[in-house]
Amino acid sequence: MILTNYHTHNELCDGKGPIEAYITKAIEKGFTALGFSSHAPLPVKNDWTLTEENLLIYLAELDQQIFKWGSQIQIYKGLEIDYIPGYQAPNQKRWTDLNLDYSIGSVHTTTGLSQNPEYCCIDGPEDELKWLLDEIHEGSWEKLSEAYYTRICELVELGGFDFLGHFDLLKKRNRDNACFSEEAPWYHRHVLTALDALDGSGIIMEVNSGAISRGALDVVYPSPWILAEALKRDIPVMVNADAHRPEDIDCNYDESCALLRETGYHEIWALVDEKWQAVQL
């Protein structure tokens, strides 16, 4: 087993601490590779993504850090790019022109920019989720879920990124099924449609422990039953932290690997020696 993580934020977006603190922590913990994935700038003002100016600082800083630490650990340059229909997608030239080592495609909200000028997110503060649910989706989790997974399907169809971020992010505030039941037939239908879109796309699904390190949930994205359905479709998987603090880069790593083994997976995907490869679990 090797230690890796490709979903890492830092203080230039919404993480804590400088890029170098994540690298030295990874070296201390014996990591083989660490990938950085700041939130790509958005076409709306916000306090959690890179600004256009910070994007350049981020890329230059990574080059410097690779020069400084590259002999001790493999460091990869990535971005977590939001899909916003009609505005932003990971396959756009402006992102592919950056010569990144990889990118993450993510969905954080469920409605268009004109209706949602503040860019309220499903994983944002509770009032943002409440606003989306009540004002956009008529208080219906079924409608919110349908909008979310429809976006996931569109994003996968567009492609142009390496792995899909936090597959079932909409469950962040659904501890103990407080908002909706994952057993609901409509929820299964939405999830399975998104898995069918992933099937054969070559896009990797991450097991993401971000809700655990932030104290929101005790479980990873996606739920175990979704992983079992992903395995039936041979969807490739990887293990990530979605770290927002240096000490979280290996959060839940062993448990996430154990969950995948229990599900029946024998390998995970990792970017090592500059290429994506399957690594024995």
- For the bound state, the minimum distance from the C-beta of residue 71 to Zn ion, rounded and expressed in Å, comes to 28
Exactly one of 5, 65, 103, 106 binds Zn ion (CB under 5 A); that residue is 106
- For the bound state, the minimum distance from the C-beta of residue 172 to Zn ion, rounded and expressed in Å, comes to 10
Nearer to Zn ion, 210 or 236 (CB): 210
Nearer to Zn ion, 6 or 31 (CB): 6
Site for Zn ion in 20-79 (CB under 5 A): none
Nearer to Zn ion, 102 or 186 (CB): 102
HSE value, Cβ hemisphere, 13 Å, CA-based, for 10: 25
**Of 167, 163, 183, 157, whose CA–CA distance to 103 is shortest?**
163
Q: Strands 102-106 and 163-164, how do they pair?
A: parallel
Exactly one of 128, 229, 242, 248 binds Zn ion (CB under 5 A); that residue is 242
**Contacts with Zn ion, 167-206, as mask; x by CB under 5 A:** ----------------------------------------
**Contacts with Zn ion, 133-172, as mask; x by CB under 5 A:** --------------------------------x-------
State how far the Cα of 66 lies from the Cα of 115, in Å rounded to an integer.
41
What is the spatial order of strands in the sheet that 204-208 belongs to?
4-5, 33-39, 74-82, 102-106, 163-164, 204-208, 237-240
Binding residues for Zn ion, rule CB under 5 A, total: 4
State how far the Cα of 58 lies from the Cα of 54, in Å rounded to an integer.
6
**Of 218, 200, 201, whose CA–CA distance to 209 is shortest?**
218
> Which amino acid type is present at position 225?
W
State how far the Cα of 51 lies from the Cα of 58, in Å rounded to an integer.
10
Instruction: Check residue 248 and report its DSSP letter.
Output: G
- For the bound state, the minimum distance from the C-beta of residue 37 to Zn ion, rounded and expressed in Å, comes to 6
- For the bound state, the minimum distance from the C-beta of residue 185 to Zn ion, rounded and expressed in Å, comes to 28
Site for Zn ion in 73-92 (CB under 5 A): 80
- For the bound state, the minimum distance from the C-beta of residue 88 to Zn ion, rounded and expressed in Å, comes to 14
User: Which spans of this chain sit near Zn ion (rule: CB under 5 A)?
Assistant: 80, 106, 165, 242
